[in-house]
Structure 1
Amino acid sequence: MENRVGMRWTSLLHNPEGVNAAYQGNPPDLRGVRVHEVTLQVEGPTLKLRLDLPEYPDRPPRKWAVQKFNTVQIEISFSGLRSVSLGGFKSEISADVSITEGDGVNVRVTAPGVHLQANAATVFISTLTAYVDEA
């Protein structure tokens, strides 16, 4: 998702190379993502979001194509966590995620009945994988 000054969310990542390579430099916006996990860790302190990206790459990495994967999952880590608020949670979450710059990095996750907002020093991709989603 583009933020107020028109930058893509990947431009704020400490390590955008993997996701940019998987999507040939054009990763999808973070609208309508399936949220699997929200984790808070004291080390950092860190907030981690594990989610499925809303689109699969047109030309996926060979190892993904060979295994006939159809879904990309990432774990985004927000380290140096300064603030976090969470309201509501449920078992199936399709959300819009916004990552913007401003006094570090801000993240907002919004879905019906779910709201998460946080501010951290840095953001990076801690895991980038693919799998077969039978749904």
Structure 2
Amino acid sequence: MTWTEFVVDADFTAYYEEVPGLTGVRLRSVHLDGWDPTVTLRLDLPRFPDRWAGAPGDTMQCQLQFIMVQDFLMEGWQPPVTADVVLRALPEHRLAVEVAAPGVALSFTANASVKAGKISVFTRDVDGGDGGPRSFSRALDSRLFPTLPPVYVNTFYERG
């Protein structure tokens, strides 16, 4: 089963002939919702899309949001990290999520319906950063967030 089969609200085939796996992704942030058991991973996909109608760039980024999170474990974190993200189906419409990277261990279980959002393209900074201008798949997001907002902007990090 591919990771996109768990995604309920976005179609990555609109951008890719063959959607890349979540191997070698640049994991930029892990956001824990302060109000409910939700975890949002912000990551750069491993390759640029085949089709993109927005502004130019060299990297596609998205957020994957997991709800009804349990068994959360995180050790070692110095972002960004290049990681492999593995999603594995469990009984009762649950999902095991494991992130593996040198010096980082992140795992949890969640509902198997994953939200994908804040799909954007940007050009990486010289140091690999992602703070510059970006173009989102949704025009409203591009107007609201021309650059990456600070981590306390919940309308960006807690809503797909």
Find 1:35's aligned residue among 3, 9, 27: 27
Unaligned runs of 5+ in 2: 127-160
2:10 is equivalent to residue 20 of structure 1: no
Unaligned runs of 5+ in 1: 1-6
Q: Match of 1:32, as an amino acid?
A: G
- TM-score normalised over the length of structure 2: 0.71
2:103 is equivalent to residue 109 of structure 1: no
What SS class does the counterpart of residue 133 from structure 1 fall into? coil
1:56-135 correspondence runs (5 A): 56-58=48-50, 60-63=51-54, 67-103=55-91, 104-121=94-111, 122-135=113-126
Runs of 4+ that moved beyond 6 A: none
Match of 1:4 in 2: none
Root-mean-square deviation over aligned CA pairs = 1.5
Hey, which of these two has a bigger chunk of strand by percent? 1
Superposed displacement of residue 123, structure 1: 1.4
Which structure would you say has the larger RCO, counting Cα contacts within 8 Å and 6 or more residues apart? 1
Residues matched between the structures, number: 123
- C-alpha distance in structure 2 between counterparts of 1:73 and 1:55, whole Å: 10
Kept in 1: contact 2:32–2:39 (CA 8 A): yes
Kept in 2: contact 1:81–1:119 (CA 8 A): yes
Q: Match of 2:5, as an amino acid?
A: S
- C-alpha distance in structure 2 between counterparts of 1:50 and 1:76, whole Å: 7
Superposed displacement of residue 13, structure 1: 1.2
1:47-62 correspondence runs (5 A): 47-58=39-50, 60-62=51-53
